[in-house]
Structure 1
Amino acid sequence: MIIITPDSLDYEKARQEWNRSIQKFPKLIAYCETTQDVSDIIKCSYDNGLRIRIRSGGHNYEGYSTGNDVVVIDISKMNNANINYEENTVTVQGGIKNTQLYNYISNQGYPFPGGTCPTVGVSGYALGGGWGYSARKFGLGCDSLIEIEMVNYKGKIIKANKYFNKDLFWALRGAGGGNFGVITSMKFKLPHKVNKVTYVRMTYQNISKKEQVNILDTWQKWIGSVDKDINLSGGLYHTNEEGVYAYFRGISYKNEEQTRKLLEPFYNIKEADIILEYDKYIDVVNQIASSYPPYEHFKSTGRFVNKYYYLNELEKLVDIINQPLPNNSIYTGINVYGLGGEVKSVNKYDTAFYFRDANYILLIQSAWEDNLYKEENVNWVLNNFKYIYSITEGSYINFPLLQLPYYESNYFGENSCRLRKVKCKYDPLDVFSFPQSIRY
């Protein structure tokens, strides 16, 4: 175990989250290398009355994996993976990142329903449900989970699957990370091998407000009925240099010609730059990964949409993105993330991920350069979020919002009550607590 304190040379780097707008100062950061390390630091922290936070990739939008005067249990050095070819499963340690897992299993020919950002921790991603470009084909990340190993509040190792600690296994599939203990190992079932997929990119420049509405309307109709072999994310973006433009990207498990037919409604909007590349799965994943910066300053949050909006409702969304940018903002965005397909095939009560009937996630965001302008950009998001909140049904816990009212019902819907009981059973002393953790 490596311990970093405020006196350590590496402290300034070690305390940073991917979202650099979050600046917290932990009492110490414990880089665990074994499950025993995790157990030891949990017991030591509790015995000394120290609050705990759990970090794998450091990508929580609101920084719930860190805090002031807390012990950060960082498991990023626990990142081994092993494929069982007879079972067609992969077992990974809790600190493995998207890029590490993708590159390991893809070299063996397997795809994976993982996330898009390369440095996101797979455990945090999967415990929150796990949206990705393969979700419509294979389900959410949590839907592939078979077993989890967790260190609990006593420092004891427990396993959860469909046979043992079934209630905990249910909760860990969708209720988010950090609530019940430290995840040290996960076993996933693997999809069938895939050689090539089609990488989709679509850009619409110089678009009028009417065309922006048309793009959002085309999206909502398309995602509600399209073949589950394709998924996209994207939306409307506003920058000082380019004004308002639309950009979408994603993955299709069809070839280039078949994918073009699936995208036909988007070709009919107006002239667009649409690029389709039929390539090896891992090469496409790595292309997507390369687009992410090493960090950002941002505020964003996402809500679930399971209805079709009238044109006047879409016009109000378009009005948001056409507002002047907050000072120092690099861009603002109204984004969409496709759901449906296999995500809807699982009952909303079978895992903790409740809002499975949604067609897509609707997200609002602003990213800026200098944290001196944080307040103005955050206020822009919060003020415009009010309208988005009024037309949507629930919030995605992997896109959290600190200012979200009634956060448990917004994240977990009718599964909230059951989750409180699981929390009380497996963490009765509330050792694993953070600003939006499950209460009882």
Structure 2
Amino acid sequence: MVCHSFLCTVSLCVFLAASASSEILGVNLLRNERNSPTALIGCLTKAGLSPVTPSNPSYQNDSLPVNTRLIYQPASLVYANTAKDVSAAVKCGALHEVKVNARSGGHSYASFGTGGEDGHLIISLDNLNNMKLSGEYVTVGAGTKLGPLYYFLWENGQRATVFGTAPQIGVGGHLHGGYGFLSRKWGLFLDQVVEMEVVKADGSVVTANKDSNADLFWALRGAPPSFGVITQLTILTHPAPTHAATFAFTYNWSTPYIASSAFQIFQHWTAEADMPSDLTLQVQYTDASPVPTFWLIGAYYGDDGIAGLNKTVQPLWDALLALNDSVPTATIFEDLNWIQNVLYEAGLDPTTDPKVALEDAPAIHYPFYCNSVFYSADDLLTNASTLSFAQYTYNGTSADMNWIAYLYLFGGKNSAISAVPQDATAYNARDMFINLQVCGNRNTMPFPDDGLSFTEGMLKSVTDMMPGVRFTGYPNHVDSQLSREEAHASYYPTHTQRLQEIMKKVNQKAVFDYPQGFLPV
């Protein structure tokens, strides 16, 4: 039989095409099999990790975030007991092409601890809660909660370090910043961390510090979720203050014009006064009837206690009193020891047993939306912007929810936060002065749609009055409404490029990812 070249070529092409199609089909079948939920669960089970899946009775409770406005459905959750467990889970996620996220305390405003979207593998670090004090340093598991850690440090030599106030928060979540009442004195929480044990995207367990895996260490202090799962931290501690002179003054200004003047007095005094680092101040501004409530609160940690507090803050109190509109409707002075101050700042009774109050603080779950902006001492809020904010809040909202705003003092004279160079860590707001946070919340579901728009409008009432001014965001107050690119521009305006370059080295396939995470570009 003679084979004509044209026909042979066609036959060969058909054969090759059929072979190629079969090969592609085989690859797709293998990929589909590898990506199936059953395959992931099988891998986790084989590794001895007891995955919690949607078919488990405990799944809904185990996957419930603090912010119940944003509930997602993970492909599976596992509770790691060791770094080896975390490594095995990461390898399973990578093998089966399922995005992996760690959950420390689960307090992400955007529920990123459960993926920020459906279908992720969640590694809960709750069982990594060991604590060991050695000299000035405490080594803790990344799932350790702040309340037990506060008490542990107090009971073991009356030590302290910088944490937030809620005892239920996991220590790992503090690595986006970590602001506390001692931050002006000692810095942010991430500034206290000297070493970390980290599971990388390939499952390897490494040590990160200033000398080993230095780029990874840099990234983890400010932008941790994209770069690894932290399993253990070594943290610098300090002798706890001998005094914590705390105060709270409550005002109800009759008009938004006077409220605006009070905001101006607060920000100008804190920017211009030679405030000692022992002093911290903030404003809490809350929804109330018939007018909002303006809380001026603070603490002074100097050895001279109440006398030192009075001497330091009296000019601010006098300036507010000179508004001649409202004497404080409530005045609180407490001369406390450090652990009593921890309870007080957490909204707990400072006379209660700290062990019980801090170690047994109940879990919280409720729907809310929060956001915040930083501004610098060179761009204080204008009279027009604080008046716009006051008028907006005095008009109130028809949304079935409560709202609250905070002014947190990060910078200013003698602030340890500002003393750290801007590029020392991935945290990107060293030059910022005050953080203005706004929140809308309610006790039960659902969260109202107009509540979201009202809360967003609180910040816009300020920023829209100051076009051209540089406002930045705080990633611990993450805005769930931002895209990936918007989040990077807000939280890491000068650090995004370096973070993306580090991603190429440590997480090339974006095994650790979430809606605002970094990509290896």
Instruction: Indicate conservation of the 8 Å contact 2:385/2:461, yes or no.
Output: no
Taking a change above 3 Å as real, the CA distance of residues 434 and 194 of structure 1, as seen in their structure-2 partners, is: same
Taking a change above 3 Å as real, the CA distance of residues 207 and 178 of structure 1, as seen in their structure-2 partners, is: same
1:327 corresponds to which residue? 399
Match runs of 1:24-423 below 5 Å: 24-66=72-114, 67-85=117-135, 88-107=136-155, 108-125=157-174, 127-175=175-223, 177-224=224-271, 225=273, 226-239=275-288, 241=289, 243-254=291-302, 255-264=305-314, 265-270=316-321, 271-272=327-328, 273-290=330-347, 294-306=364-376, 307-329=379-401, 331-340=402-411, 341-390=415-464, 391=466, 392-404=470-482, 406-423=486-503
Alpha-carbon distance in structure 2 between the residues aligned to 1:249 and 1:57: 27
Bigger strand fraction: 1
Taking a change above 3 Å as real, the CA distance of residues 296 and 372 of structure 1, as seen in their structure-2 partners, is: closer
Runs of 5+ unmatched residues, structure 1? none
Alpha-carbon distance in structure 2 between the residues aligned to 1:195 and 1:76: 32
Bigger helix fraction: 2
What is the count of residue pairs matched by the alignment? 434
The alignment's TM-score, normalised by the length of structure 1, stands at 0.94
Moved more, 23-32 or 399-408: 399-408
Alpha-carbon distance in structure 2 between the residues aligned to 1:8 and 1:260: 57
Structure number with bigger Rg = 2
CA RMSD in angstroms comes to: 1.9
Q: What letter is aligned with 2:53? A: T
Instruction: Indicate conservation of the 8 Å contact 1:21/1:297, yes or no.
Output: yes
Instruction: Indicate conservation of the 8 Å contact 1:297/1:371, yes or no.
Output: yes
Instruction: Indicate conservation of the 8 Å contact 1:334/1:363, yes or no.
Output: yes
Alpha-carbon distance in structure 2 between the residues aligned to 1:408 and 1:377: 25
The Cα shift of 1:227 comes to 1.8
The Cα shift of 1:242 comes to 5.4
The alignment's TM-score, normalised by the length of structure 2, stands at 0.80
Moved more, 197-206 or 411-420: 197-206
Runs of 5+ unmatched residues, structure 2? 1-48, 322-326, 349-360
The Cα shift of 1:196 comes to 2.6
Taking a change above 3 Å as real, the CA distance of residues 269 and 250 of structure 1, as seen in their structure-2 partners, is: closer
Instruction: Indicate conservation of the 8 Å contact 1:368/1:377, yes or no.
Output: no
Q: What letter is aligned with 1:268? A: A
Instruction: Indicate conservation of the 8 Å contact 1:2/1:32, yes or no.
Output: no
Identity percentage of aligned residues: 24
Alpha-carbon distance in structure 1 between the residues aligned to 2:393 and 2:161: 33
Q: What letter is aligned with 1:303? A: V
Moved more, 355-364 or 319-328: 319-328
2:508 corresponds to which residue? 428
Instruction: Indicate conservation of the 8 Å contact 2:93/2:511, yes or no.
Output: no
